[in-house]
Amino acid sequence: MSLDDLKLTRRRFLKVTGATLGALSLSHELLDFKHWVRANAEAPVTRIPTFCNGCGNRCGIFAYVKNGRLWKIEGNPEANGNLGVICPKGHGYLHDLYNPSRLRGPLKRTGDRFEPISWEQAYKEIAQKINLILMDSGPQSIFWVNYPQSNNPYALRLMHSLGSPHYFTHGSTCYTARNAGWVTTVGDLPSNDLSNSQYIVIIGRNPAGGIDLAEVKKIVEAKEKGAKLVVVDPRHSETAILADEWLPIKPGTDLAFLLGMINIMIKEELYDRQFVKEKAVGFEQLDDEIVNYPPEWAERVCEIPAKTIVRITREMARVKPRALLHRGYHAAFGSQYLNSFQTARALAIVNSLLGNINREGGIYFPKSAQLGELQPKHPAPELPKIGKSDGTGVPGRYPLGSYGDGIAHAIPELALRGELKAGFVYHNNPLRTNPNPKRVIAGYKKLDLLVVVDTVLSETASIAHYVLPESFYLERDEAVDTKHSGKRAQVSIQQKVVNPMFDTRPGTQIIIELGKHLGVEKYFNFDIDEGNRLRLKPFGITLEELKQKGVLFVGEKWKEGFNKLETPSGKVEIHSSTLEKLGFPPIPRWEDPLVSPDSKNPSSFRLLHGKQAIHTHSMTANQPYLMAISRRYDLIRLWMNKERGRRLGLKDGDWVQVKSIVGEGRIRVKLTEGLHPSCVWLPSGYGIFSKHLKTAFDVGLSYNDFLPTLFDPTVGHAMSSEIIVQVRKTSELRS
């Protein structure tokens, strides 16, 4: 048997280039590993600005590279969003760059397995299937869903070029009620001028947990200057630790607290009379309505003492307009309750009564960079002629739903009804982050084509027909970004720091290439760099300048005051004629939550959830260092009020069974005085069920396992705190 008989040896994976076919040019010093280690310790370190991808904040960072590998990261002090600081998630997520479980190339499902295929094959097959679906079911049967990224405008362009209106973000499970409340009242979503405020009230929002580094820094700065911080939250959150006062409100009753405040402001004439007269409409109707909500009534509903509501209202009024109620985010009224939209409206009205709208130390409209357009050089596709099937913006369905965000948690329902046939999921994992996973799995599995773009085999990627691997964020150039809005707008950029390790591609490139293969190449005749140059054109800055700094200020500085708001009246709409026409209360009125725990049943609790500072959605639980922190500090537990736990015979650390109308799970309990007795609280980010995510698999529970699929009638949000669970003592062993 000679080597010539073995055809195997024709294959070579280490290829000799033509120039070196002769003698070996290798020095023994280089071959010697120990010698190489010593020599390379002195290799130069280079600094490249980019931004983090460990959560949605996209914090500005400097990445340092040595010998072609990552060396460290630091915060970019210029970036509005993080002011030079990086959180644990930013550091922990780095691990994924060198994670051997990362996707290495495109995958195609064959039966119950995946097989590696080339990009070209993947694009061709996806295009064939999409074309068939377009012919059979029309463009409206195709959707794209993503967690917001800088390249979203390109994804929207792709859907529009196919004729589909179905572009979704995760918004309906996060913030759409808050946004709708603010937009209806003041015309836009504002920001908080925390560092200049003298009195900050935060309802539900937890910037020290659902982390916003710049906000935490500004709160600390304000407190150092003497500001008071009041946190209104059923849970003693990470932000409550920073507070002067923590008010453990009954969950779902923030609206009552705010109505009580409005009552006092009007009754005692604590509001800014001039602002209301000149800049608001509907004060008279509010005056008529608000008599129904004295602080004593509010106390009965929200369990915050009337005298506390009165005192805080008076304290705020004394320092107005440098007093603010935080605009909120996910918790309390982002998408939690039936009354969340009206809670956001009431919050905007209290701020308006303080006269703090677009004022120093109050609520302000941040300057956000308006990027240039690709057209006319690259014409934009026509807007789709068909409306969204989810009913956003449609009277009689979800008229105040955000058309731009859509209602992503309706996708499974639309798929099960046969209205959606094919979907692209990018930087998102709906199987884990949407309510009612059994229903979500059934819906996504019903699709004729599911394409997932991800870096790992998430729950959603695991059931896809095709998985397109995106390069890790430090391996890719991306679209310019405007995320870092503030007192002065910023543009920022994510750029390649190290070479891609595998056969992966940047998200923007994938979108462009999909466009080219799907027959809409006339809208995608550009690359990432050209797109970026066109989008930067209005600012008179070059792509090279931006790449050098990572973040650049653009446009004018913010100025106090305003002439006209983006509302129908141009003023603060305390009374909304739009709402009146749609048949919704035009003035915030008390509205009970959809469900409430049974006060006679010791096992009955409302299930709340929220973030810990070390985890983002479902994407960080698999990072070994972050999971190690979770375990080290025993963070994977269900919070329960100590007295309620005692009545159930529970000791701290006992195992409990949690059961709702749709799900059941077991977890250890944390008994605490830091939680309202009517609820239990589950940290988000756990409950991973993709077996490919080995570190996180089967650790903890996700609140989504217990939530039914709900749609608020105004906005269509998920109402993800409208669920009652039964909690009982159990053993660790599963039945």
Q: Rule CB under 8 A: which residues touch other proteins?
A: 1, 3, 5-9, 11-17, 19-20, 23-28, 30-34, 36-37, 40-41, 66-72, 91-92, 94-95, 98-101, 104, 107, 113-116, 457, 500-503, 624-625, 691-692, 694, 697
Nearer to other proteins, 23 or 383 (CB): 23
* Helix or strand (DSSP H, E) at 468: strand 466-469
Nearer to other proteins, 445 or 694 (CB): 694
d(CA 680, CA 191): 30
Could you tell me which residues come within 8 angstroms of residue 131 by beta carbon, excluding any fewer than 6 positions away?
518, 519
Nearer to other proteins, 10 or 277 (CB): 10
Minimum separation from the CB atom of position 488 to other proteins (A): 32
Q: What is the 3-state secondary structure (H, E, C) of 187-246?
A: CCCCEECHHHCCEEEEECCCCCCCCCHHHHHHHHHHHHCCCEEEEECCECCHHHHHCCEE
Nearer to other proteins, 63 or 240 (CB): 63
Minimum separation from the CB atom of position 30 to other proteins (A): 6
d(CA 646, CA 270): 44
Minimum separation from the CB atom of position 117 to other proteins (A): 12
Minimum separation from the CB atom of position 125 to other proteins (A): 18
How wide is the angle at C-alpha 148 spanned by C-alphas 620 and 533, nearest 5°?
120
The answer to whether 298 and 256 are in contact (CB under 8 A) is: yes
The answer to whether 229 and 242 are in contact (CB under 8 A) is: yes
Nearer to other proteins, 110 or 128 (CB): 110
Minimum separation from the CB atom of position 565 to other proteins (A): 47
Nearer to other proteins, 91 or 446 (CB): 91
Q: Which of 329, 337, 212 is nearest to 679 (CA)?
A: 337
Nearer to other proteins, 104 or 651 (CB): 104
Minimum separation from the CB atom of position 613 to other proteins (A): 16
Alpha helix ranges (H) inside 138-172: 152-162
d(CA 132, CA 555): 47
* Helix or strand (DSSP H, E) at 65: strand 60-66
The DSSP call for residue 373 is P
b/e burial code for range 705-729 (CB count within 10 A of at least 16 → b): bbbbbbbbebbbbbbbbbbbbbbee
Angle of helix 254-267 versus helix 306-319 axis, rounded to 10: 60
The terminus-to-terminus CA distance of the chain in angstroms comes to 60
Residues in the chain: 735
Minimum separation from the CB atom of position 86 to other proteins (A): 12
Nearer to other proteins, 13 or 135 (CB): 13
Minimum separation from the CB atom of position 31 to other proteins (A): 5
Minimum separation from the CB atom of position 318 to other proteins (A): 47
Minimum separation from the CB atom of position 690 to other proteins (A): 9
Minimum separation from the CB atom of position 598 to other proteins (A): 41
Nearer to other proteins, 26 or 383 (CB): 26
d(CA 329, CA 734): 36
The answer to whether 284 and 585 are in contact (CB under 8 A) is: no
List the 45-51 sheet strands across, edge first. Answer: 45-51, 60-66, 69-75
Nearer to other proteins, 12 or 600 (CB): 12
Nearer to other proteins, 71 or 526 (CB): 71
Nearer to other proteins, 482 or 695 (CB): 695
Nearer to other proteins, 16 or 733 (CB): 16
Minimum separation from the CB atom of position 496 to other proteins (A): 15
Q: Which whole-number Å values give the CA distances from 207 to 35, 194, 330, 331, 688, in the listed order?
A: 48, 12, 11, 11, 24
Minimum separation from the CB atom of position 101 to other proteins (A): 6
- What would the two tokens of residue 54 be? 């460990």
- What would the two tokens of residue 244 be? 């002067």
Strands (E), 338-459: 363-364, 422-426, 449-454
Minimum separation from the CB atom of position 8 to other proteins (A): 4
b/e burial code for range 249-276 (CB count within 10 A of at least 16 → b): bbbbbbbbbbbbbbbbbbeeebbbeebb
d(CA 493, CA 491): 7
Q: Is the dihedral of CA 25, 27, 30, 34 positive or negative?
A: positive
The DSSP call for residue 497 is -
b/e burial code for range 104-122 (CB count within 10 A of at least 16 → b): eebbbeeeeebeebebeeb
Minimum separation from the CB atom of position 544 to other proteins (A): 28
3-state secondary structure of 680: strand
Minimum separation from the CB atom of position 621 to other proteins (A): 16
Nearer to other proteins, 500 or 708 (CB): 500
Nearer to other proteins, 264 or 467 (CB): 467
How wide is the angle at C-alpha 653 spanned by C-alphas 647 and 659, nearest 5°?
65
Nearer to other proteins, 9 or 563 (CB): 9
The answer to whether 355 and 272 are in contact (CB under 8 A) is: yes
